[in-house]
């Protein structure tokens, strides 16, 4: 890694504030439908906020390669629409009541309307992307959507069951890291519109950054689900265990715990509740075996791998910003 300095959060926001504001406007515009309930649900989801990290990554990727194409705004909205559609479907599948501290969309409108609104957002994202008339963009987005759906189906099959680390990393790649990777790759495509076939310069490099960053992001999410409180998370703590999902710290403890430890964790996963084993008891097991620290150390290793993958990227203020993002991912509290 070169001696280039890492940007601060304030510098990154200042670099991208105008573009991020433009993406919000574009998202709202693309979410308009002649069927009022679609627009109502989409506007509710947009107002719910979020980190907007996926469009942020797309912007930094494109700008690091000196692109000023307006496509960065349209495709920034596309990746956020795809992410939002997955959240709608996730909340329905998980029977979630809250999202970011507010009632989930399915709580307000019901499952039937929301699953259709999620489908509509997927299709609207593709219609917006199609207007770019670039087969590489469609290739990336189609493969991405297939992998995200496969990841959700695989996770549903694993609910309540024990999985190993290899299965866990496959799941979180499909459900989270793949979208981070494609967001970065799209920046490279935008920056090289004249290339008609194959990968663009730095597309593999930037995609690797996105993959590693996305893995770190999801591992941290999973740790926060176990350790943060409801108010900070904006949803019930330990939702993953209540839904029967074994995440990295839990897998680590299962491999190292006593027979009683393993039985306690299995009970929660099978019951999908803390009726027989308390959340505090599970946390004590994870702390005693260093499982939470292990998961965070793993996230930090992926974050550092993301930084290292940028070693050949030309130096710029946007590269400095990309070097900052891994620290944001691993130190956030929600």
Question: If pLDDT is split at 50, 70 and 90, which confidence band does 3 have?
Answer: low
Nearest to 175 by CA among 160, 195, 187, 158: 158
- The whole-angstrom separation of Cα 76 and Cα 1 is 28
Q: Which residues face 162 on adjacent strands?
A: none
Q: Would you state the structure tokens that stand for residue 241, as one six-digit string?
A: 């265990």
| Residue 139 pLDDT grade (very low, low, confident, very high; cuts 50, 70, 90) | very high
* Percent of the chain topping pLDDT 70: 99
Domain with residues 9-331, CATH architecture: Orthogonal Bundle (1.10)
Residue 37 has pLDDT above 80, yes or no: yes
Q: What are phi and psi of 309, to 5 degrees?
A: -65, -15
What is the arithmetic mean of pLDDT over 44-56? Answer: 90
Contacts of 54 (CB under 8 A, 6+ apart): 79, 80, 83, 179, 180, 183
pTM: 0.94
Identify any residues that bridge with 103 across adjacent strands, giving them in sequence order: 98
pLDDT at 273: 92
- Give 236-291 pLDDT, tens digit per residue: 789 999 999 999 999 999 999 999 999 999 999 999 999 999 999 999 999 999 99
**Which of 246, 315, 332, 212 is CA-nearest to residue 5?**
315
> Where is pLDDT greater, at 118 or 98?
118
Question: DSSP states of 246-294 as a string?
Answer: --HHHHHHHHHS-HHHHHHHHHHHHHTSSSSS-HHHHHHHHHHTTHHHH
pLDDT digits (tens, 9 = 90+) for 6-31: 888 889 999 999 999 999 999 999 99
pLDDT tens for 296-332 read 999 999 999 999 999 999 999 999 999 999 999 999 9
Percent of the chain with pLDDT over 90: 83
pLDDT at residue 2 above 50? no
- The string of DSSP codes covering 174-188 is IIIIHHHHHHHHHHH
Contact between residue 306 and residue 205 where contact means Cβ atoms under 8 Å apart: no
């Amino acid at each position: 890694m070169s001696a280039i300095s890492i940007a601060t959060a304030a510098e990154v926001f200042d670099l991208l504030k105008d573009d991020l504001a433009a993406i919000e406007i574009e998202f709202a515009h693309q979410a308009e439908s002649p069927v009022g309930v679609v627009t109502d649900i989409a506007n509710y989801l947009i107002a719910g906020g979020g980190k907007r990290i996926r469009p942020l990554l797309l912007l930094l990727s494109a700008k690091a390669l000196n692109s000023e194409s307006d496509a960065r705004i349209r495709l920034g909205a596309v990746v956020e629409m795809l992410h939002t559609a997955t959240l709608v479907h996730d909340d329905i599948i998980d029977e979630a009541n809250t999202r970011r501290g507010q009632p989930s969309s399915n709580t307000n409108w019901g499952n039937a309307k929301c699953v259709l609104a999620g489908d509509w957002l997927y299709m609207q994202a593709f219609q917006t992307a199609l207007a770019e008339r670039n087969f590489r963009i469609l290739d990336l987005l189609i493969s991405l959507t297939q992998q995200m759906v496969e990841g959700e189906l695989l996770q549903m099959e694993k609910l309540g069951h024990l999985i190993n680390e290899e299965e866990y990393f496959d799941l979180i790649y499909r459900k989270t890291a793949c979208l981070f990777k494609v967001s970065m790759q799209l920046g490279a495509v935008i920056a090289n519109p004249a290339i008609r076939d194959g990968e663009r310069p730095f597309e593999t490099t930037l995609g690797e950054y996105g993959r590693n960053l996305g893995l770190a992001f999801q591992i941290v999410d999973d740790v926060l689900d176990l350790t943060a409180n409801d108010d900070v998370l904006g949803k019930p703590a330990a939702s993953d265990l209540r839904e029967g999902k074994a995440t990295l710290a839990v897998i680590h403890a299962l491999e190292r715990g006593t027979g009683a430890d393993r039985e306690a964790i299995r009970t929660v996963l099978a019951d999908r509740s803390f009726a027989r084993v308390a959340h505090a008891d599970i946390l004590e097991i994870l702390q005693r075996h260093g499982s939470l620290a292990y998961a965070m150390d793993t996230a930090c290793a992926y974050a550092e791998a993301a930084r290292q993958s940028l070693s050949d990227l030309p130096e710029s203020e946007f590269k400095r910003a990309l070097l900052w993002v891994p620290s944001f991912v691993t130190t956030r509290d929600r």
